[in-house]
Structure 1
Amino acid sequence: MPHPALRPLLLACTALACLAAPPRTLRVDYGHTGDAASERFGVDRVVLEPLPWPGDPAKAVDASNLGKYCFEVTDKATGKLLYSRGFASIYGEWETTDEAKAASRSFGESLRFPRPDAPVRITVKKRDERNAFKAVWAFDLDPADPLIEQAPAPEAGALIALQKAGEPAEKVDLLILGDGYTAAERGKFEAQARKVMEFLFAQPPFKEHRKDFNVWAICPASKESGISRPSTGVHRRTPLGTTYDAFGSERYVLTFDNRAWRDIAAQAPYEFVEILTNSETYGGGGIHNLYSTASAGNSTIGYLFVHEFGHHFAGLADEYYTSDVAITNSPSRPEPWEPNATADPKNPKWKALLTPGVPLPTPWKKDAFEAHSHDYQKERRAIRAANKPESDMDALFAREKVFETDLLGTDAHSGKVGAFEGANYEAKGYFRSQEDCLMFTRNDAGFCAACRAAIEKVIRQYAK
């Protein structure tokens, strides 16, 4: 028993500790419905997640200016801004596809934030044609509402701490989820998760900031090994619902089961999520502040994991433009919100990083690259159409890497920072910061200057 004179002090310390404890995590699951011309929103459920909020309370307001959308949580009584985050979404991509011009679809999405002490107003905003955020949906939420879901989440297996560098509030918390792994394959998942973690931290600027990350892993057991690939007649019901052929693209891997993966992810502290799929066929995806995916058994997993994580983590645009994609850009070429692509080569976002004396736009071996790349894409499509083994695709990737490394690495402005035309799925009208980049090719060039700067900015947003 403590000495009577110490009891008031101990009680005071206990009270202070309670006051300092982080709030729980609150999540709003909602439906996002519409087509190319209009969109609508509706609350599905509100969930009180089991763990405390993992973020730094001093960095509750987003300073990144990233995302096609953003949301704000304000105190209903005072109007004070409590929390905000920019994000992109599956719907935000889908509305740019040809399908959205003829049909309406609905997608599940979520907003996560620290549980407030009093009623709040939540506002979702979307960028207009001038890139300014405009409100598109708002609703009120009372954190004391008895209908908020508080039941335990489905069993997902033990949480694996792949790397713990500090308390969640002081670090970037990355969660790696496994999908399509049976209970007997859990060891396989853990080995692959550790492998991709090392790939990530071998790549600058993640390499220099390794101590700023916690890395967690969860692998819910699947009844069958592997994930869905509908274009080849393969269908699986996996815990996370990942599938190839998203938006009709054979290599695009997404999950459309928002409820399922969110309930599993809630059992770990996280800000960013990577889903590893138990598959070998090349495929992945990445959406800013949603998740990224990668086929763990593919021979290019080192590139694939980091490339897709770049989309998710820092909102990086694809810089390639000769591959088949489902997304359609506006012919007016508006300035993209992504930090590594611009429509203004004379005044790019990365102008502080420009190499002195480099001409803008910056000339490069564009014609030679495109001629070779178009032939390569024809061969790639033929391999998939014939359903040839993945080793044939691996061999094609290897040959392409040799050619591109030589072409892009021996040009007049190789390694310099300028404004190189060809980016964001477009041969003309959009520009990237360097001739080669991890967001442009599968070569060993690493991230370009614009990408590195964007990644470091996001790390500073989450880590102390």
Structure 2
Amino acid sequence: MIRYLTSLLALCACASALAAQPATMRLDYLHSGNASEEHYAVERVVVEPLPWPGSMRQTIDNTNRGNNLVEVVDAKTGKLLYSRGFSTVFAEWRSTGEAARASRGFQESVRFPRPAQPVKVRILKRDDANRFVLAWSADVDPDAMDVVRKQPPAPVQPIGIRVNGPSEDKVDLLIVGDGYTKGEMKKFEAAARRLADHLFATSPFKERATDFNVWAIALPTTESGVSRPSTGAHKASPLGTRYDIFGSERYVLTTDNRALRELAQYAPYEFIEILVNNETYGGGGIFGQFSTAAADNDWANYLFVHEFGHHFAGLADEYYTSPVAYATGGERREPWEPNATALHDPARLKWRKFVKEGTPMPTPWPKAAYETASRAYQQERAALRAVNRPESEMSALFTRDLQQSTALFSADPHRHTVGAFEGANYEATGYYRPQMQCIMFDRSEQFCAVCADAISAIIDLYSRP
């Protein structure tokens, strides 16, 4: 009871501080298509129950992150009122083999401070030259009769995990549970606290911990866990989060965007991480949308931080030997992600401010030896999954793999060098990462200097300058 009252007081204090903020508007829309075309359609416009949680002093996003950019523009004057970069589940699905054969639709949402006048909400996407171009535009009148202005009472109350000040001055992270029964709510809260503690023990989040508020919320389900179709496990969970997304056994996402947003709207948030009540290794992360992690896995700490890196800062995966559900394509275009490059012009490397003079480009590393060991590791991993061996055996394999790669790298003269190491973005050749090891490359415990800097830039965007 004391813990509940403390959380309630924290939420009330936060809501009180937000009283002068505009309302939060959400445009729900359908994004559909296939590998060669895409379409958008308005579903509804909603006024969420809580005021806008973000700073009204930093409404324009200049970080140049994401496959997409949302712009809210005054319909009469054309003035840009709000913008944020983001990516989508649709964009990932579009690179799968299924998208070449069939069309699918995905729910998506963009949120923004309620404007005082009609606006155009514009969705931009990157062209072949990495420039944002208009993909779709919708007229939104905040006073229109079909705007949903009244929401049902909150089905559950959020818990204040870390509350460091008014939401408008902080980054608000919401940890959402899926697959937890009513009797497992304390288990969910303990997992949320444990994983939040680990996040803020990891630099650069450690140094910026007071710039964050962390909340937790979960709707109880009738049975523990979420679906894992590849093993015949099908479970009804409030958010529909599941394994085997796009055919990848470890990829965990929800495609029920409405269920997620309708629950999350009862807490202040700008970022969401979903904890699934499972022990099987798995997770996922979409920039500006949400990330996921299996809370009971032995590697939950790593999963939570790694996937949050995708969602929070748009960091690319730096590994390339593990199979993934989507493809980058044959052409090596310069990625927008801050921690991967095609190195078309070494003299203009995007992270050159971190590179010491005289560092060779590309930067040598024991690539061949690493790949030989990794092939054996991947074969063993696939064999364990094929016969559904206990998760403890998979965890032990991950531990051996990390130990072997760390031992291989430890004696290399460029182990701590910032340069351009070939192998990144799911490709063995043609893409380069900043350092030999990073949380985005393997299951090590630190972000490289480039990833840490990219994270700090997003913290600066959302917290008071």
- Report the TM range for the smaller structure's normalisation: over 0.9
Q: Distance in 2 between matches of 1:19 and 1:350?
A: 37
Q: Distance in 1 between matches of 2:39 and 2:361?
A: 42
In the aligned structure 2, how far is the partner of 1:100 from the partner of 1:426? 21
Matched residues in 1 for 2:410 and 2:381: separation? Answer: 23
| Residues 318-368 of structure 1, C-alpha deviations (whole Å, 9 max, x = no match) | 000000111111211000110000001613210011133210110000000
Partner of 1:208: 207
Preserved contact between residue 157 and residue 266 of structure 2 (Cα < 8 Å): no
Corresponding position of 1:9: none
Any stretches of 5+ residues in structure 2 without a counterpart? 1-15
Residue 223 of structure 1: how far off its partner (Å): 1.4
CA distance in 2, matches of 1:139, 1:304: 36
Partner of 2:460: 460
Map residues 417-428 of structure 1 onto 2, 5 A cutoff.
Answer: 417-428=418-429
> 1:68 touches 1:88 (CA, 8 Å); kept in 2?
yes
Distance in 1, Cα, partners of 2:298 & 2:263: 28
1:365-424: CA deviations, max 9, x gaps?
000000000110010000000011101101101111110111122212001100000000
Aligned residue type for 1:205:
P
Deviations 1:15-34 (A, max 9, x none): xx999811110001110000
Q: Helix, strand or coil: the match of 2:208?
A: helix
Q: Does 1:362 align with 2:338?
A: no
Aligned mates of 1:124, 1:266 — CA distance in 2: 22
Residues 71-220 of structure 1 mapped to structure 2, 5 A cutoff? 71-153=70-152, 155-220=154-219
Q: Whole-Å Cα distance in 1 between the matches of residues 275 and 154 of structure 2? A: 19
Q: Rg: which structure is higher?
A: 1
**Taking structure 1 as reference, are residues 139 and 368 closer, same or farther at Cα in structure 2, changes over 3 Å only?**
same
* Conserved? CA contact 1:128–1:134, under 8 Å: yes
- In 2, the alpha carbon distance for the partners of 1:201 and 1:19 equals 25
| SS, match of residue 137 in structure 1 | strand
Q: Deviations over 1:281-303 (max 9, x none)?
A: 00000000000000000000111
Residues 151 and 397 of structure 1: is their aligned pair in 2 closer, same or farther, counting only changes over 3 Å? same
1:373 aligned partner: 374
TM-score by length of 1: 0.95
Q: Secondary structure at the match of 1:221?
A: coil
Provide Cα deviations, 1:162-190, integer angstroms capped at 9, x if missing partner: 00111000000000000000011000000
For 1:153 and 1:401, the matched residues in 2 are separated by 48
What amino acid is aligned across from residue 420 of structure 2 in structure 1? A
Q: 1:219: how far off?
A: 1.2
Asked whether the 8 Å contact 1:341–1:433 carries over to 2, the reply is yes
Task: Tell me which residue corresponds to 2:227.
Answer: 228
Match of 1:253?
252
| Structure 2 residue 339 is matched with structure 1 residue 340 | yes
Amino acid paired to 1:66: R
**1:151: how far off?**
3.2
Amino acid at match of 2:460: R
Aligned residue pairs total 447
**Are positions 1:429 and 2:430 aligned together?**
yes
Instruction: Kindly provide the amino acid, as one letter, of the partner of residue 387 in structure 2.
Output: A
- Counterparts in 2 of 1:171 and 1:412: CA distance versus 1, 3 Å: same
Task: Provide the rounded CA distance (Å) in 2 between the counterparts of 1:153 and 1:418.
Answer: 53
Structure 1 segments (4+ residues) deviating >3 Å: 17-20, 153-156
Residue aligned with 2:57, SS: helix
Aligned partners of 2:18 and 2:51 also within 8 Å: no
Q: Does 2:272 align with 1:278?
A: no
Decide whether the 8 Å contact of 1:31 with 1:43 is kept in 2.
Answer: yes
Q: 1:20-51 CA distances to partner (integer Å, 9 max, x unpaired)? A: 81111000111000011010000111111000
Shift of 1:124: 0.6
Q: Structure 2 counterpart of 1:323, which letter? A: S
Query: Quick one: distance in 2 between partners of 1:195 and 1:163?
Result: 12
Superposed CA deviations along residues 151-210 of structure 1, whole A, max 9, x for unmatched, are: 324743221000011100000000000000001100000000000001100110000000
1:67-90 deviation digits (Å, cap 9, x = unpaired): 000110011111110000110000
Structure-to-structure mapping, 1:308-347, within 5 angstroms: 308-344=307-343, 346=346, 347=348
Q: CA deviation at 1:310?
A: 0.1
SS of 2:400's equivalent?
helix
More divergent stretch after superposition (347-356 vs 165-174): 347-356
CA distance in 2: counterparts of 1:407 and 1:266, whole angstroms: 47
CA distance in 2, matches of 1:251, 1:87: 23
Q: Are the equivalent residues in 1 in contact too, given 2:18–2:168 (CA < 8 A)?
A: no
Equivalent position amino acid for 2:461 in 1: Q
Amino acid at match of 2:76: A
Preserved CA contact (<8 Å) 2:19 2:51: no
Q: Is the 8 A contact 1:153 1:264 kept in 2?
A: no
Contact 1:409 1:415 in 2 (8 A): no
Question: Does the Cα contact within 8 Å between 2:174 and 2:271 map onto a contact in 1?
Answer: yes
**Residue type at the aligned position of 1:22:** Q
Comparing 151-160 and 224-233, the one that deviates more: 151-160
Aligned residue type for 1:54: P
1:131 and 1:458 mapped to 2: Cα distance? 20
CA distance in 1, matches of 2:410, 2:69: 38
Return the alpha-carbon distance in structure 1 between the equivalents of residues 121 and 99 of structure 2.
Answer: 27
